[in-house]
Amino acid sequence: MPDRSSTHIEKTVYRGGTGEITVKKSRFIANVAAVDTKEEAESFVASVKKKYWDAKHNCSAYRIGEEKILTHSSDDGEPPGTAGKPMVEVLEREHITNVCVVVTRYFGGVLLGTGGLVRAYTEALKTGIDDCILITRKKAIACDYTAEYDESGRLQFFFAENKIIVDKCEYGEKVEYSLIVPYERYKSLKEEINRSSGGKKSLCNEEDILYADASGEIIKWKKTE
């Protein structure tokens, strides 16, 4: 059973972005995209390389997953450890996952040294991240509940007070709720259901998910390892 008393928060990309800096005549162009799989990340890297086919370097990094996070990086001809790895470290510090980044370098004829390259690639990536729209993904339980009409008023108030999202509500002989319950609210909801139904009912079709609020639009993902 998952630990539903804990809250896990991470960020991901809702809308990708681009950024660019110039360091001693070298152009560094960052492209950032949301990805959910290794294959999507590799496809994005390939598309950027195709677009900037004449660039000297297209260095990349990605970070994918939730608890078990897959990371990969490429220096693409730059000295080892000066591009890909520092970019992964930026993503880790910012707690951004399910993301792929490519920083393209057009060489300006001036060598930057290893320290200069690390600074240039990380700063370029930060400009790309700044151009993105990031959203916070949180653990939750998606579940259903069938309420009697005399329960619904109290429940609606409880949902609003506890930031429980009513994903869908259908009125028939009874009230059918589809809910998104943040982990930290799950126990209290079960207790409220027990009270409102006199101990006769419980939640059903429970599923671990991740969710995010993107300017009022609720986005859901199935929970993975």
- The phi and psi torsions of 75 (rounded to 5 degrees) equal -90, -15
**Domain 139-222 in this protein, CATH class:** alpha beta
Could you tell me the residue ranges of all domains in the chain? 17-131, 139-222
Query: Residue 51 in contact with residue 176, Cβ under 8 Å?
Result: no
> Which segments of the chain have a pLDDT < 50?
1-7
Per CATH, which fold does 17-131 belong to?
Answer: Ribosomal Protein S5; domain 2 (3.30.230)
Helix (H, G, I), strand (E, B) or coil at 123: helix
Tell me how crowded residue 75 is: count the other CB atoms within 10 A of its CB. Answer: 20
How confident is the model at residue 131, as a pLDDT?
A: 96
- Residue 91 half-sphere exposure toward CB, CA atoms < 13 A: 31
How confident is the model at residue 214, as a pLDDT?
A: 79
How confident is the model at residue 138, as a pLDDT?
A: 86
Can 17-131 and 139-222 be said to share one CATH topology? no
**Neighbouring residues of 177: CB distance < 8 A, sequence distance ≥ 6:** 144, 145, 146, 147, 155, 166, 168, 169
